[in-house]
């Protein structure tokens, strides 16, 4: 072999050795990546709802199960109902502090954190479920929600909707505005301030504590959700006067919040799974509530419950005060003002559209 051939062979050998080394490095990198992707992550989800409570508790469980199943167990979510890991009204802080990585509840429960949190669930005189979906997904609501919740190192997703809620259960009939004077009523969020300005005293209670308070006389009236959930709690056994629709929650979205640090650390496919599990339940829960409320209302009537509307002058006052209370949130700070302005602009556009959409149709169909 001459010198030229020897040099050529050496060069080829160097190239092959380099290629093999690169291939090994690539395989090592690929194996490491695969190992990371196959690593299992375990999350805890806490809720504000009783264990397996219809629609709300079961909806939260469906989100947890969907994430676990869609990720093929790579992201496993175990649900803890209200009181099992933390008290119901401590679930937000549990996620913020990463005692749990997820929570299912309603954003108006966190009004003590910021006066504008209720906008991402429901506010008095606010948006219907369909309108609220549109504002969050396409009207700028999600970006404002992300900005607000980032202050607490959490991120929120819509996690279900109960539709238009009822006005509440009362031990005595409501025939005038005077009947609210001195009344003790369970009411959360900004609706509580409306009730207070009407002369009643609003009391904040988690779901599992409402019935005992009603039975003991600690409260005289309560709102909760609607016929399906209210029947399950048995409120009709204590208070027989049922009023609706409510002024305070025209389309109440539940939320699924996640610890932002934990969420940001997820690979993109698991982030997508978390988001899509919430979107799916957001749609499913509203359908389930719509069906079940229809059936449960008939059952309540058969049980002798008197279902009626508030008097017109009562509704008029409720909505007038609601507009004041909601507008006042804009005075709390820059983010609050921007949330209110965005929401208010969308509501105005939705009202202009309504007579030619569902509202106009339902008024005419009979």
For strand 168-170 and strand 102-105, is the pairing parallel, antiparallel, or unpaired?
unpaired
pLDDT tens per residue, range 85-129: 999 999 999 999 999 999 999 999 999 999 999 999 999 999 999
Residue 181 burial by CB count (10 A; 0-12/13-18/19+): exposed, middle or buried? Answer: exposed
Residue 26 covered by a domain: no
Q: Are 109 and 89 in contact (CB under 8 A)?
A: yes
Residue 172 covered by a domain: no
Query: In CATH, what number is assigned to the domain containing residue 72?
Result: 3.40.190.170
Residue 126 covered by a domain: yes
Tell me 175's DSSP state: -
Q: Per-residue pLDDT tens, the chain, 366 aa: give them.
A: 444 443 344 443 443 344 444 444 444 433 333 333 458 999 999 999 999 999 999 999 999 999 999 999 999 999 999 999 999 999 999 999 999 999 999 999 999 999 999 999 999 999 999 999 999 999 999 999 999 999 999 999 999 999 999 999 999 999 999 999 999 999 999 999 999 999 999 999 999 999 999 999 999 999 999 999 999 999 999 999 999 999 999 999 999 999 999 999 999 999 999 999 999 999 999 999 999 999 999 999 999 999 999 999 999 999 999 999 999 999 999 999 999 999 999 999 999 999 999 999 999 998
Domain count, the chain: 1
- The pTM of this model reads 0.88
Residue 365 covered by a domain: no
Query: What is the rounded distance in angstroms from the CA atom of residue 5 to the CA atom of residue 15?
Result: 15
The token pair that represents 330 in the structure block: 């804009």
Query: What is the rounded distance in angstroms from the CA atom of residue 251 to the CA atom of residue 246?
Result: 10
Task: Give the number of other CB atoms < 10 A from CB of residue 270.
Answer: 18
Residue 217 covered by a domain: no
Tell me 162's DSSP state: -
Which of 184, 249, 250, 194 lies closest to 222, judged by CA? Answer: 184
pLDDT tens per residue, range 152-162: 999 999 999 99
Give residue 126's domain range.
39-161+251-290
Which of 305, 271, 317 lies closest to 124, judged by CA? Answer: 317
Q: Are 254 and 59 in contact (CB under 8 A)?
A: yes
Query: What is the rounded distance in angstroms from the CA atom of residue 124 to the CA atom of residue 189?
Result: 9
The gap from C-alpha 229 to its chain's centroid, in whole angstroms, comes to 16
Q: Are 80 and 45 in contact (CB under 8 A)?
A: yes
Structure-token match 């009391």, residue found = 203
Residue 133 covered by a domain: yes
Residue 320 covered by a domain: no
Q: What is the pLDDT of residue 38?
A: 58
Tell me 209's DSSP state: G
Residue 136 covered by a domain: yes
């Amino acid at each position: 072999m001459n010198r030229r051939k020897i040099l050529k062979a050496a060069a080829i050998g160097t190239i092959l050795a380099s290629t093999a080394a690169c291939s090994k490095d690539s395989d090592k990198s690929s194996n490491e990546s695969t190992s990371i992707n196959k690593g299992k992550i375990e999350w805890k989800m806490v809720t504000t709802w009783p264990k397996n409570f219809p629609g709300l508790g079961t909806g939260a469980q469906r989100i947890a199960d969907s994430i676990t199943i869609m990720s093929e167990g790579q992201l496993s979510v175990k649900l803890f109902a209200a009181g099992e890991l933390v008290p119901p009204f401590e679930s937000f802080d549990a996620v913020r502090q990463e005692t749990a990585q997820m929570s299912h509840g309603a954003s108006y429960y966190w009004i003590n954190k910021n006066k504008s949190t209720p906008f991402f669930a429901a506010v008095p005189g606010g948006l219907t479920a369909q309108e609220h979906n549109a504002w969050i997904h396409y009207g700028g609501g999600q970006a404002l929600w992300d900005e607000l919740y980032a202050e607490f190192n959490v991120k929120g997703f819509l996690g279900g909707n109960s539709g238009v809620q009822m006005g509440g259960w009362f031990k005595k009939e409501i025939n005038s505005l005077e009947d609210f004077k001195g009344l003790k009523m369970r009411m959360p969020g900004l609706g509580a301030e409306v009730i207070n300005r009407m002369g009643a005293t609003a009391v904040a209670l988690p779901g599992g504590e409402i019935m005992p308070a009603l039975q003991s006389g600690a409260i005289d009236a309560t709102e909760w959700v609607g016929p399906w959930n209210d029947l399950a709690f048995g409120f009709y056994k204590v208070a027989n006067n049922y009023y609706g629709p409510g002024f305070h929650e025209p389309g109440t979205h539940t939320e699924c919040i996640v610890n932002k640090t934990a969420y940001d650390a997820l690979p993109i496919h698991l982030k997508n799974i978390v988001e899509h599990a919430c979107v799916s339940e957001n749609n499913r829960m509203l359908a389930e509530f719509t069906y079940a409320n229809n059936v449960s209302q008939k059952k309540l009537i058969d049980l002798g419950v008197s279902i009626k509307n508030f008097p017109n002058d009562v509704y008029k006052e409720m909505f007038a005060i609601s507009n004041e209370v909601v507008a006042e949130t804009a005075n709390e700070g820059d983010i609050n003002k921007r949330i209110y302005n965005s929401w208010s602009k969308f509501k105005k556009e939705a009202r202009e559209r309504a007579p030619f959409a569902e509202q106009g149709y339902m008024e005419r169909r009979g």
